[in-house]
A and B are shown apart, each in its own frame.
Chain A
């Protein structure tokens, strides 16, 4: 009875902060308004305080003396077991892997027939007539994602350089460094896929403060060709 009453009183309620938001809160990766709202709830909620304690115990990686022998054994056991990472081509399972073999054969057969049919058509057909009013000068753009390489996540010191994967067809990149509420701190345009941070900007990267950065790629006619997600980084205190 008592266990049930305490469980009902202490289990997460509808106003409790879900664990992902609590994690961002602990990481300092929420905007000031959201931070204040979460802090106000956590202050009066033992359940969320307990969740934060668990998170901190996990992130600190503390191993009690009474646990260390068991933990060593478990790590050794994990290393003996097959890795979750596939050895040859670590591609994620694709939808076709769930298709029955018979259906897969039918699909492959149909594809083969189409290839043969289209080859015959190509050999027999003459060059297609192109419309004469194509606007050859207009850029054709696709939405691409730019992979940000560094800095990402926790850093030992203030980064001096931002680096990302170049995008084919991009002639200019717009780079921004922001607060977590997206207030812009610094930005620059460059044609390279890396840029050095000026000293004035580096001075604003203080320990424990989470910042974001993102990149937008433009074509020579200033059309957006690709964008990145905002990446967070922080210098560990």
Chain B
């Protein structure tokens, strides 16, 4: 059984879903991915109990949706999509709750968002401008860290672990550096425009 790929375990499970053997096949499948899912949920939540709850929901959803797995991607990728969507739901629920103080990623950079030219833009244009400035001013890792923190809602230590950053301050150093560069880029842009 251990020599079978994830997708082969599912194919064999589907031959006789109600049998004891099929339960063993699914046990083996889920057991293989427990550590991966647990690590991911812990990174996102930063709390063992919340991570265990989230991981349990991910596996329950995976079992309930198994009929829809079509093997046009790897099972691991499919499981990631389930975990990702579950986390997205959680983020939405958190956004609806009273806002917690945002994690202090600012470091010593001065705020740049009060820039008059930038705030005068409508949201769509501001998005384009900020993206262009980031693309021009930040390196690839800085952009990725910014996106993971500000768009995907990951805590800084979670980003450090997810990207395997080995510098001393991890993701925080990249955010501080990125914000400083972005401040300069916004000032240059507003002078020109």
Contacts and interface: CB of A to CB of B under 8 A. Distances in A.
Interface of B: 4-8, 10-12, 14-15, 17-18, 22-23, 26-27, 30, 34-36, 38-43, 48, 51-52, 55-56, 59-60, 62-64, 67, 70-81, 83-85, 102, 106, 111-114, 118, 123, 126-127, 130-131, 134-135, 140, 143-144, 146-148, 150-152, 157, 160-164, 179
29 contacts: A2-B112, A3-B102, A9-B130, A10-B150, A10-B151, A13-B127, A19-B80, A19-B81, A19-B85, A20-B81, A23-B78, A23-B80, A27-B74, A29-B72, A50-B151, A51-B152, A54-B148, A59-B80, A66-B161, A67-B161, A70-B48, A78-B34, A81-B52, A84-B30, A150-B11, A153-B8, A153-B74, A230-B72, A233-B7
Interface of A: 1-3, 5-13, 19-20, 23-24, 26-27, 29, 44, 46-47, 49-51, 53-55, 57-59, 61-64, 66-67, 70-71, 73-75, 77-79, 81, 83-85, 87, 89-92, 147-155, 165, 229-233
Contacts of B134: 9, 46
Nearest to A81: B56
A229 B70 contact: yes
Most buried by B among A13, A62, A74, A151: A74
Contacts of B73: 20, 23-24, 27, 29, 232
A57 B14 CA distance: 29
B148 A61 contact: no
Contacts, number: 222
Q: Is the interface of B mostly helix, strand, loop or mixed?
A: helix
Given A13-B127, A58-B83, A84-B30, A78 B39 contact: no
Nearest to B52: A77
B146 to A, nearest CB: 6
Nearest to B11: A152
Nearest to A56: B162
A153 B118 contact: no
Given A23-B77, A59-B76, A229-B70, A53 B113 contact: no
Contacts of A74: 38, 41-42, 48, 51-52, 55
Nearest to B54: A74
B162 A54 contact: yes
A6 B183 CA distance: 12
Contacts of B85: 19
Q: Which 9 A-B pairs have the closest CB atoms?
A: A153-B7, A10-B151, A50-B147, A9-B130, A23-B77, A152-B7, A2-B113, A46-B143, A153-B5
